[in-house]
Amino acid sequence: MVKTRKRFDAMSKILVIDDEDSIRKLLSISLIYKGYEVVTAEDGEEGIEAFKKESPQIVLTDIKMPGMDGIEVLKRIRRLDPDARVIVITGHGDMKSAVEALQLEASDFINKPITDEALSVALKRAEEILWMKSKLRDYTSDLEAKIKEATDELRAAHDFQQNLIQNSIDGIIAADRHGSVIVFNQGAENLLGYSADEVIAKMQMDRIYPSGVAEMIKEELNGEAYGGKDRLVNYESVIISKNGEEIPVRISGAILFDNGATAGVVCFFQDLRQIKRLQKELIENERLSATGQAVAGMAHYVKNILNGLQGGVYIVNTGLRKNKSDVLRKGWGMVENNVAKISDLVTNMLIYSKDREPELAPCFPNDIAQEVCDLMQEKARQSKIELVRDLDPSINECFLDPNGIHRCLLNLVGNAIDSCVLDPEKDKTCSVAIGTRKEGDWIRFDISDNGAGMTKEVQEKLFDRFFSTKGPKGTGLGLLVTRKIVEEHGGSISYESDPGEGTTFTMRLPYRRSPEEA
């Protein structure tokens, strides 16, 4: 706030009161010359009237006047405006009047005959005081404005807070240190079905929680786990509405302190009903879409097998019709081959869809690896891939599910060979290695190839349901089934892969010497 400040060089208004016409004129000329605006009055009464009308900052008044004298004028002006400066003009040697005037807080006195110098000094002092007073007044009114401003701000902040609390979508409930509800906003009303009037100062905050939950929340508030001590951030729980409905909510809260002492608690409740419903829908949608994809993929794969079967049947018929046993044999081979594929698919599906315990039986892990190599030898040879065996002779008989492990190795070796076939580098000599190692209480199987390797995108989807890189030639079940079997054994499966360099899959299985060993 800016106020016009009077300075002693700025134009001030001066009231000159003197019964002597010549003095009035002389002073007027002199003062106008100094830059003042001058108002004159012939006696006290006229002076007071002029003062009221003109509100001069400075008054020059003669002491000895007929009617109202200068002392009386001084008294009255001081009452009218304590800030106005009154300079009294005293007769030569009239020290008594001068002292009296000063006691009545006249600004100054000038002796007659008036000299220009004395007048200037008196005016200067008066102006200085006026200036200081105005500064003080500005300062004071600034202060007042500032206080008003701060008060307004506080009020605005308070209103804002009230608004914020009241209009927050979250339910906001605060309780005093005795647990009695003191804040219950619109959001809380909507959430819980109570009106604020019903609960404020009438209900304990604990009432909104199912039994035991309030204690848990207090414990969490005091504990460090959710957002640190005295705070609770995004804690999921339930609260109970007025009509008894359990509402899932996310609670954030804080203990309120007043000078170090617990003053109460405030909690924010986010309604999770909508979110929970959406989450459920999302999971359901994902499940449906995965199921749809699975069915589509499976249909494709089954159709492929069916084609093979039909082809086989056609050839068998041709062989029969023409009585050619070599054709018959080829056709029968195709039928058998496709029957094996169907059987394999069904087994995979059953393994994948059921929770089962591995059928542990004593077996030699190296023998299983050998069997798988023998089975895959032909497939590898056709694609000019070398099959390397690197089996640890220190592995003895142990308890595994031999069929399961056989299936896992068959899947992994089959994948390794496919990965070599898919390798665009035609000149590369591809090889697939099966290694076994005993590592303490574990057996490790490593199946590595130097084939195409997997891109990051493929790696990300590796254990996705029904994801396959082989189009209709794959079900996307192989790795899932492998992982499931390994995990049912209490083992783990991991891999390392670089596009262009190849892939290594590692299965770690517990080396059980008896079926009871966990």
Residues 6+ apart with CB under 8 A from 446: 433, 434, 435, 436, 437, 504, 505, 506
Helix, strand or coil for residue 442?
A: strand
Phi-psi region of 268 (alpha: psi -120 to 50; beta: other; left: phi over 0): beta
Cβ-based neighbour number of residue 175 at 10 Å: 21
In which element (H, E) is residue 311 found? helix 273-322
Shortest Å distance, C-beta 427 to another protein: 11
Closer residue to another protein (CB): 187 or 312: 312
Closer residue to another protein (CB): 137 or 303: 303
Helix, strand or coil for residue 261?
A: strand
Shortest Å distance, C-beta 458 to another protein: 15
Shortest Å distance, C-beta 394 to another protein: 39
Shortest Å distance, C-beta 350 to another protein: 25
Residue whose C-alpha is closest to residue 412's, from 301, 511, 494:
494
In this structure, are residues 414 and 376 in contact, taking their beta carbons and an 8 Å threshold? yes
Shortest Å distance, C-beta 287 to another protein: 27
Output the six-digit token pair for 174: 């605060």
Helix, strand or coil for residue 374?
A: helix
Shortest Å distance, C-beta 308 to another protein: 6
Output the six-digit token pair for 347: 């087994």
Strands (E), 241-338: 246-258, 261-271
Shortest Å distance, C-beta 496 to another protein: 23
Closer residue to another protein (CB): 200 or 345: 345
Shortest Å distance, C-beta 331 to another protein: 7
Strands (E), 122-218: 171-176, 181-184
Shortest Å distance, C-beta 395 to another protein: 35
The DSSP symbol for 435 reads E
Shortest Å distance, C-beta 319 to another protein: 8
Output the six-digit token pair for 5: 């400040």
Shortest Å distance, C-beta 336 to another protein: 11
Helix, strand or coil for residue 188?
A: helix
Q: How far apart are CA 414 and CA 418, in angstroms?
A: 6
Q: How far apart are CA 490 and CA 512, in angstroms?
A: 11
Shortest Å distance, C-beta 269 to another protein: 54
The DSSP symbol for 73 reads H
Distances (CA, A) of 274 to 248, 271, 280, 281, 283: 10, 7, 10, 10, 14
Residue whose C-alpha is closest to residue 500's, from 425, 413, 400:
425
Closer residue to another protein (CB): 179 or 308: 308
Cβ-based neighbour number of residue 256 at 10 Å: 16
325-353 and 273-322 helices, crossing angle to 10°: 160
Distances (CA, A) of 169 to 189, 203, 477: 10, 22, 46
Phi-psi region of 490 (alpha: psi -120 to 50; beta: other; left: phi over 0): left
**Where along the sequence are the contacts to another protein (CB under 8 A)?**
306-308, 310-312, 314-315, 318, 322, 327, 330-331, 333-334, 337, 382, 421-422, 424, 426, 471-472
Helix, strand or coil for residue 66?
A: coil
Q: How far apart are CA 336 and CA 329, in angstroms?
A: 10
